[in-house]
Chains A and B, each alone.
Chain A
Amino acid sequence: MALVVEDATLLARAAAGDDRAFAAIYEAHRRPMFRLAYGILLDADEARDAVQEAFLRLHRAAPSWEPRAAVRTWLHRVVLNHCLSLRQRLVRMIFAPPPERETRDSPETKALAREAVVAVERSLETLPMKQRAVVCLHLEEELDPSEIAPLVGMTPNATRVTLHRALTKLRSDLSIEEKPS
């Protein structure tokens, strides 16, 4: 609740033209939003675009922000909508080149870590986008299926089933043996 109040205070200042207040909100939320967007899109540039779009909308919503609304949940929703929207998917399908699977820096010492990253990405890539969204919200943001359901527009039961399928596929692909949570 304290975070919500703090975000609302910062947004009120941002609405009054305080760019430093908005930068503080950006800094607090940009990483989780990027990870979510990247987990769905599997393209760093597109994920950055999605994050920019979400924060732009947040800035525009700042003057009429409801103080009790959670910025994090609001941003989740906007990022998800952006990543999963049919229009965006069509644009990507038509114009986007195939995503790069190499890391930005590629020293040999990081070869193993890089391979591990690429393996997870390849496995995520085999999942439908909505499953990726559900699995990222669960694994990265640590949300329960009941919290994920309204964000992705599914019932809690359908979300549980989707999540279970996605986790089973990932564990199988990555040869990870652990009890389902």
Chain B
Amino acid sequence: MTLRDRVKETLAAREPTEREAARDLDAVLARARPRRRVRPQWAIAFATAAAVVALYIFFPRPKPPPAEAVHLYVHVSGEPEENALTLDLGTKGSM
């Protein structure tokens, strides 16, 4: 028996069984599959929050228009409603 034969025989003697080899392949395939980095519900929640913030930044709530007049409603308690006064006071310039 040559040295090559003896070394080959030795290395072959320690080979994993078919079952072990199949398990190793399964482990390789399991590790090779792409991992889900983010759960979908978290991704949706994050996207929604980001969209709300973006809307708030780029489309701020419209401010109420500047007042152009003052309306006064004067009603003396105990008097009928028909006797109440309504005064509309115009303005010049901004209030």
> A and B bound?
yes
User: Quick check: B14 and A52 within 8 Å, CB to CB?
Assistant: no
Determine how close the nearest CB of chain A comes to the CB of B80; give it in whole angstroms. Answer: 85
CB-nearest residue of chain A to B27: A52
B25 touches which one: A26, A120, A178 (CB < 8 A)?
A26
A103 touches which one: B6, B7, B13 (CB < 8 A)?
B13
Q: Report A34-62 residues with CB < 8 Å from chain B CB.
A: 34-35, 38-39, 44, 47-48, 51-52, 55-56, 59-60
Q: How many residues of B contact A (CB 8 A)?
A: 24
User: Quick check: A48 and B20 within 8 Å, CB to CB?
Assistant: yes
A38 touches which one: B1, B6, B14 (CB < 8 A)?
B14
A30: CB under 8 A from chain B?
yes
CB-nearest residue of chain B to A116: B6
Q: Which residues of A contact B27 (CB under 8 A)?
A: 52
- Cα separation A120 to B3 with both chains bound (whole Å): 9
B84: CB under 8 A from chain A?
no
Q: Which residues of B contact A52 (CB under 8 A)?
A: 24, 27-28
- Interface of A, secondary structure class, is helix
B32 touches which one: A60, A135, A174 (CB < 8 A)?
A60
Interface size class of chain A, counting residues whose CB lies under 8 Å from the partner chain: 35 or more
- Chain A residues within 8 Å of B, Cβ to Cβ: 19, 22-23, 26, 30-31, 34-35, 38-39, 44, 47-48, 51-52, 55-56, 59-60, 103, 113, 116-117, 120-121, 124, 135-136, 139-140, 167, 170-171, 174, 176, 178
Q: Can you list 10 A-B pairs, Cβ within 8 angstroms, ordered by A? A: A44-B14, A55-B25, A103-B14, A117-B14, A136-B11, A139-B8, A170-B7, A174-B3, A176-B1, A178-B3
